[in-house]
Amino acid sequence: MTTTTKNTKLLAWVEEMANLCNPDKVQWCDGSKAEYDAMIKIMVDAGAAIPLGKRPNSYLFRSDPSDVARVEDRTYIATRNQEDAGPTNNWIDPVKLKTIMRDLYKGCMRGRTLYVIPFSMGPVGSPISKIGVELSDSPYVVVNMHIMTRVGDKVLKALGENGAFVPCMHSVGAPLEPGQKDSRWPCAPIEKKYIAHFPEENLIWSFGSGYGGNALLGKKCLALRIASPMARREGWMAEHMLILRLTNPQGKRFHIAAAFPSACGKTNLAMLQPSIAGWKCECIGDDIAWMKTGADGRLYAINPEAGFFGVCPGTSYKSNPMAMESIKANAIFTNCVLTDDGDIWWEDMDVECKHGIDWKGNEWSPDRKDAEGKPVKGAHPNARFTAPARQCPVICPDWEDPAGVPIDIFVFGGRRSKLVPLVSEAYNWDHGVYMGATAASEATAAALDAKKAIRRDPMAMLPFCGYHIGDYWQHWLNMGDKLGAKAPKIFYTNWFRKSGDGKWLWPGFGENCRVLKWMCERVEGKVGAVETPVGYVPKPGDLDVSGLKVSEAEMAELLHIDVEGWKSEVPEIEEYLSTAGARLPLRMKTQLAELKKRIGL
């Protein structure tokens, strides 16, 4: 398939990489349904895609057991100066890294097709959107990019002859010799996997993995790791945030952008179904927000993605009914159980599965045990669904508005069983930035640093900030200066506080709208707050708990500030902030000093 583009830079780059990778042919993707169906047929015929009889136009894939998630220790930020990558990133000199990867790319697409995937992050033509072009030898990547981004000829038309794009180079790293049978999920061994970002060139190179954010380069690679330094240079924001619209009974709209570390209910909140009569919630995005200042001086956000790439285990009609409705058709599933009646299943789906084929292709039943007698999970813990955002029943009518939506509120959060109140409001922008920068969760068994009691995840950007974290915090402070009185209010939430006997104090899920309602009413000046050492918390009676089985004593505990506990937390916060070294903003030091003063240290 040829192309109509006359963009000389794009044509030269495609030719250069094709000469290096040596594919059997080059195919330009047009973004059509016919193309999507053809890619699916290739994979069904090869046994890589399994049609699901219970879900129209939906398919199950099983990845190689070595290729199941983002590989953080093989993910690199390559800057000329190592200090610019900062303490939160893996660094390799860009010249050295390109030499290593060029050797890997030599002939890596032999026996395969190189697909050229022009894509737009955000609505095509939006002033907040960016164009990328991914080269990949994976049909799985093509179909997922069809869902997750806007792909094809309309993007090339918007790019024009001289438009700028982010080059995204990807290969599964598994060339085929003549007559060699392809594997169901081709990939390279872990030691040859590289997910490389060159932020000074707006360039992404990925090799060896066919899975998720390692291969769908518009997602975390472009939308956060490359976009975050780009946003800093250009004066906007690229954040790991959901976006939702909350409308009160009077019809007033509020737009909220919220950042939570993993396992803190981010997707559930993005598709919230309010439990309070008269309030309406609509989803704009569940994962990433790009934000620029508008002509009126306010901050406007778009969701740069076109689909959801969600974690399956734990998703159910109880935890997130809107996500479940979004994946009833036209969806891709990866590493789930295949049930005997042609559907998919995963742990905590709240439906029974007596028998099926697990994510590794083995017979599975709930009573299956491993050699140590432990239950064997049917779905991989990072099993995923890919589905078009337009299928979500509560998708906002304005989710693709090129102008974006005006953000009223920022929310940060973490998973803490004690110390941190249910909700607090920052005193001012600088205090809010400090809240987000010191966001923390208690480590889970799945965390790489589970030996640490608390895992700091600044603005939920720990794995995704493409430059020095201290400079990133300074950029937040600079944006506050730019926005001035029009800056969104900043809040911090903790849905996970427990009583002394280990019981959840807050019901969560749809009831979280009560906390969001208080935030909206704070923006309007309708309700008061109590000043505490860590921020403003709701005054008794101002947080709507009507109809909830939460006692006054439990509410008091949810909002209680344990000053002695905060005193013991300060040394750990000081140690954490010190990792930013000389690039820790002075204003962050001031915020820490003010906290110490408020708690009597």
Looking at the annotation, which residues are catalytic?
264
Identify whether the C-beta of residue 164 lies closer than 8 Å to the C-beta of residue 131: yes
Angle between helix 469-483 and 227-234 (nearest 10) = 40
- Closest Cα partner for 281 from 308, 320, 254, 305? 254
Task: Give the integer Cα–Cα distance in Å for 70 and 229.
Answer: 21
Strands 280-285 and 242-247 turn out to be antiparallel
66 three-class SS: coil
Q: Are strands 166-171 and 203-207 parallel, antiparallel or unpaired?
A: parallel
Nearest in space to 456 (alpha carbons), one of 580, 303, 311: 580
Rounded Cα distance between 208 and 268, Å, is 32
- For residues 281 and 513, give the distance between their C-alpha atoms in angstroms, rounded to a whole number: 9
- DSSP conformational letter for 83: H
Q: Which residues pair with 332 in a beta bridge?
A: 59, 386
Measured distance CA(255)–CA(410) in Å, rounded: 9
Q: How far apart are CA 123 and CA 60, in angstroms?
A: 28
Q: How far apart are CA 520 and CA 252, in angstroms?
A: 10
Instruction: State residue 292 phi and psi, 5-degree precision.
Output: -130, 155
Bridge partners, 26 (sequence order): 114
Residue 240: DSSP 8-state? S
> Which amino acid is residue 529, in one-letter code?
A
Encode 268-321 in three state secondary structure. HHHCCCCCCCCCEEEEEECCCEEEEECCCCCEEEECCCCEEEEECCCCCCCCCH
At 474, is the secondary structure helix, strand, or coil? helix
H/E segment holding residue 565:
helix 563-578
Query: What are 358's two structure tokens?
Result: 């697990």
Strand runs labelled E in 199-279:
203-207, 237-239, 242-247, 253-259
141, HSE (Cβ side, Cα atoms, 13 Å): 34
